[in-house]
Structure 1
Amino acid sequence: MPRPTALLLAPLLLLAGCARTDEPAPTAPRGELRGLWVDAFGPGLKTPAEIDTLIRDARAMNVNVLFAQIGRRGDCYCNRAATPRTDDPAVPPGFDPLDDLLLKAHAHGIQVHAWIITTALWNSATPPRDPAHAFHAHGPAASGRDFWLTVKADGNVRGGNDWVMDPGHPDAAAYIREMYVSVARNYPVDGVQFDRVRYPDYNPAGGPGQWGYNPTALERYRHETGQTGTPDPADPRWTAWRQQQVTNLVRETALAVKAVRPDISVNAATITYGAGPADEAAFAATRTALEVQQDWLTWVREGYLDVNVMMNYKRDFVPDQAQWFDQWNAFAARLRAAYPHAAQVSGAAIYLNDQASSVTQVRKTLDAGLDGWAGYSYRTPDLDVNAGKRTQAQVFPELAARLTAPGAPFERPAPWTKPDPRQLRALSGRVTVSGDLPPGGHEVTLRAADGQVVARTRTDGAGQYGFLRVPAGTVTVQAGTGRLTTQAVPGEVRRLPDLPVN
């Protein structure tokens, strides 16, 4: 099936790219991010002994950020979150892996960013043991509005082994938001990271994306757009609407997290399938935008992310993939120059590369002028470990030694600072409607004192909207016939009165 043209989608993806006046001061130099993803699909952060080894290894590599997977599928490797504690038998009874990791990492100046798979709900034929797990009330056995799963155009409700929540379902979106906020509220994490904040894979290469047909989400789409029937996966209006649902989820979660902890780093592990775009307009035609409806370009522009961590997973020894790696790095470098409020990091697949290739990719990343590098993953530090030929304990010290040798990229320790909360100026609000008017899908504009539009967004399914890069001074927010004049307060997310749109 032919993909929608870039010309049809570009105006929708570029909706928020307005000229700005009276910008917040650009972020001060942050240092160089050196990250490791620590996944929970095997050993790494599940016991006190594993965490001791992890901290030792991170220090040996001069790593300053750990992207620690505390949420896999509707659970948490912690004891104080909105999602239930994991039933992973590898975690000792009562032990709080996140607590222990934070205590030990912070003692050595290492940041911990709570990495959560955003939309995955469950993946086993055996249901979760905890009756409070959302799978029981909102999984495949649920009906009506209680059914949260995304559905494929052919009716399938499972992406591979995973049941996945639909970003277009308002209740699922609210659940996901609280999942992140509860961790930020209850733990001194340095950041939170979105992962799989998109629609599922299992689509034709190059699109169109096949997912998003949750009945509640579909009814929203029809109500908000006036369309009838069931949209074709390649319908550009349907593609843009789904992209907006993911963007709304990121925006509202970022606002809610920042309202609790203004200094927290909000970041995302973002998709870079295939070749990189030549410029911002070309992003609309990437596999990222068309296959999984992930418009992370808007998230960067609008300040929804403090750090964009591209999953730039390419094999350096395969010429086409090495070229794609460089293309995405070059694209991110241009974004870094255009939008300095958002740091740009290239995440590399060390599990797909030999050690020499991984060192080469670190050098390429830093030579491209990005803010840092992250490796996936600590558990699988090269292709031999991934293939089962050698062990993590054998390989990780070798890779650490290569990266920290004299003249190597990580020869000396480097700092990485958290966002300066004084630079936060954000507004959060909700529209109200009457009659049969839907709360979702309304365009909301932000105007500076001179009347210039400095940002645009759209309301989510609950009528919520917000802006994270608000100019100093008086601004006007408008949705439909509703207008209000206000000012952002440095260092906080200001909640606005409800805004009638009719």
Structure 2
Amino acid sequence: MKTALLSTLLAVSLAGAQPAPIPAGAPLELRGLWVDAFGPGLKTPAEIDKLVSDARAMNVNVLFAQVGRRGDCYCNKAAMPRTDDPAVPEGFDPLAYLIEKAHPLGIQVHAWIITTAIWNSATPPKSPAHAFNLHGPDKTGRDNWLMKKFDGTVKGGSDWSLDPGHPDAAAYIRDMYVSVVKNYDVDGIQFDRVRYPDYNPVGGPNGWGYNETALERYRAETGQTGTPAPEDPTWTAWRRTQITNLVRDTALAVKAVRPDVSVNAATITYGAGPTTDAGFETTRPYAEVLQDWRTWVREGYLDVNVMMNYKRDFVPEQAAWFNTWAAYAAGLKVRSPGVTQVSGAAIYLNDPRSTLSQIRKTRTSGLGWAGYSYRTPTADVNAGKRTTAEALPELILNLAGPGGPFAAPARWARPDPRTLRALRGTLTAATGPLGGREVRLLDEMGSVLARTTTNAAGGYGFLRVPERAVRVEVGGVSSDLLMVPAGRVTDLAPLALP
């Protein structure tokens, strides 16, 4: 029976039959699928037709589609230039076509963009407007936006990356995401590699972030002198804040354009997970790549936290790590109920039985699920032992066939704008740097509700403002009390500091 059903699924997929939409009354459960742009999947109309059909057959409801690979876009209307990928037909807009095909079936499209990596080829990008051509290794001073390691290394593996401590690079990254939201009816945006690069000792310290403009900024904002060592605690905390502020500022900018767009991040889960929020500060993501996604969840910068819980289920130590991260995320779901927690699985590292095992554990923990990736649905495909065409029907059957975890369809919904209550602002100062200043959100009695830090331009913001009178205070200067309305991002008048 299984062989017959598998043959039927394959025949339907090949025939291109139009699937039925996800029923409006189906239960809510996020079931995601990453679709990368490093191979076939979303580059031609035929690939996208098959992708959408396969996703619907699999009963997944969110496609994390890689529209931004390295400073480019698999789309025609964005701040980044259109991709040079020769597999994309001239004039074709993959993102627009994917949305056109997915939405009628009730499948969401989230624009997955690599946040910091900008180029990885000896041949420069064709577009003169590409960030690598304008701000790459041949540029000097503030015009150079690239990440640099303490030992002078300028590439992490094969990648050049943007330094989030450089104010212009951070603004460019923010605008990449916002431009996609302005021009396309995406359901969400996804940060990927929103951190400092790898190629560090296990557990840290992180050796990156030594762009000259970023270093000058660090010295001005902290009063430190010289060049800090990678393990310097002040330097480490400052760099970690640059990533957090980038996520915050982008989330506020996206929500200011469209409050119902989901902001999510593919977050790191190297090694074992913590058992408490305090314990998160001892994890490899926090110390090794300076990614404090615990704070992003707590402060409401994300609507969805998609852990890249990439572990082999058949390796006992890794299976234990998988479980600890899932348990931690389940606890976060209770402490921050406004943020959906998803355990992303490495289906490319697992055999089909292991993938099913991880899905069941994920659902038992009350988490959403996402699989990486559509192009590499099993370890055998990743190792070149089978093709995607051979393995994908089996994955569909295992997930959505009789007795499978996704046998019944489920839907997913955009964030409700009525739950958004956010504010942002900037400050001016007669003396001293604008960046690195603590901003406090206070209630009418002066109690501190939240804290954040200004970016290089003096910008700040809060995405989880309570329904009560609040004010902001910086260095003894305070705004008036106000009630922040629901459904939008409220902009405050600039605060002038002496």
Query: Normalising to structure 2: TM-score of the pair?
Result: 0.94
1:446 is aligned to 2:441: yes
1:163 is aligned to 2:160: yes
Count matched residues.
472
1:256 is aligned to 2:235: no
Aligned match of 1:327: 324
Structure 1 residue 135: Cα displacement: 0.7
Q: How big is each residue's C-alpha offset from its partner over 1:145-201, in whole Å with a ceiling of 9 and x where there is no partner? A: 011011101011111110000010100000011100000000000000000000100
Q: How big is each residue's C-alpha offset from its partner over 1:118-160, in whole Å with a ceiling of 9 and x where there is no partner? A: 0111110000001111111101011000110111010111111
1:187 is aligned to 2:188: no
**CA separation in 2, counterparts of 1:501 and 1:85?**
42
Q: Which moved more, 1:186-195 or 1:471-480?
A: 471-480
Structure 1 residue 59: Cα displacement: 0.8
Q: Which moved more, 1:492-501 or 1:260-269?
A: 492-501
**CA separation in 1, counterparts of 2:444 and 2:404?**
50
Q: Matches of residues 91-102 of structure 1 in structure 2 within 5 Å?
A: 91-102=88-99
Structure 1 residue 465: Cα displacement: 0.3
- Residues 30 and 271 of structure 1: CA distance in aligned 2, closer, same or farther (over 3 Å): farther
- Are the counterparts in 2 of residues 448 and 471 from structure 1 also a CA contact under 8 Å? no
1:291 is aligned to 2:277: no
Q: How big is each residue's C-alpha offset from its partner over 1:312-338, in whole Å with a ceiling of 9 and x where there is no partner? A: 000000000000000000000000000
Q: Which amino acid aligns with 1:240?
A: A
- Are the counterparts in 2 of residues 248 and 460 from structure 1 also a CA contact under 8 Å? yes
1:132 is aligned to 2:157: no
1:205 is aligned to 2:202: yes
- Residues 30 and 148 of structure 1: CA distance in aligned 2, closer, same or farther (over 3 Å): farther
1:390 is aligned to 2:386: yes
**CA separation in 1, counterparts of 2:88 and 2:141?**
36
Q: How big is each residue's C-alpha offset from its partner over 1:32-83, in whole Å with a ceiling of 9 and x where there is no partner? A: 1000000000000000000011011101100100000000111000000010
Aligned match of 2:369: 373
Aligned match of 1:357: 354
Q: Matches of residues 24-423 of structure 1 in structure 2 within 5 Å?
A: 31-370=28-367, 372-423=368-419
1:464 is aligned to 2:459: yes
SS in 1 for 2:113: strand
SS in 2 for 1:373: strand
SS in 1 for 2:105: coil
Q: Which amino acid aligns with 2:451?
A: R
- Are the counterparts in 2 of residues 433 and 439 from structure 1 also a CA contact under 8 Å? yes
- Are the counterparts in 2 of residues 444 and 459 from structure 1 also a CA contact under 8 Å? yes
Structure 1 residue 450: Cα displacement: 2.9
1:476 is aligned to 2:471: yes
Structure 1 residue 417: Cα displacement: 1.1
Aligned match of 2:430: 434
**CA separation in 1, counterparts of 2:224 and 2:313?**
46
Structure 1 residue 449: Cα displacement: 2.3
**CA separation in 2, counterparts of 1:168 and 1:162?**
18
Identity %: 69
- Are the counterparts in 1 of residues 441 and 448 from structure 2 also a CA contact under 8 Å? yes
Structure 1 residue 285: Cα displacement: 1.0
Structure 1 residue 30: Cα displacement: 8.2
**CA separation in 2, counterparts of 1:222 and 1:169?**
13
Q: Which amino acid aligns with 1:375?
A: G
**CA separation in 1, counterparts of 2:496 and 2:268?**
37
Aligned match of 1:23: none
Structure 1 residue 403: Cα displacement: 1.0
Q: How big is each residue's C-alpha offset from its partner over 1:370-399, in whole Å with a ceiling of 9 and x where there is no partner? A: 1x1000000000000000111101101101
Q: Which amino acid aligns with 1:104?
A: K
- Are the counterparts in 1 of residues 397 and 404 from structure 2 also a CA contact under 8 Å? no
**CA separation in 1, counterparts of 2:483 and 2:121?**
49
SS in 2 for 1:417: coil
Structure 1 residue 501: Cα displacement: 2.9
SS in 2 for 1:107: helix
- Residues 103 and 280 of structure 1: CA distance in aligned 2, closer, same or farther (over 3 Å): same
SS in 2 for 1:345: strand
- Residues 126 and 30 of structure 1: CA distance in aligned 2, closer, same or farther (over 3 Å): farther
**CA separation in 2, counterparts of 1:143 and 1:159?**
20
Paired residue for 1:488, among 470, 484, 492? Answer: 484
SS in 1 for 2:479: strand
- Residues 95 and 471 of structure 1: CA distance in aligned 2, closer, same or farther (over 3 Å): same
Structure 1 residue 461: Cα displacement: 1.1
- Are the counterparts in 2 of residues 445 and 453 from structure 1 also a CA contact under 8 Å? yes
**CA separation in 1, counterparts of 2:233 and 2:274?**
19
**CA separation in 1, counterparts of 2:126 and 2:413?**
40
- Are the counterparts in 1 of residues 444 and 469 from structure 2 also a CA contact under 8 Å? yes
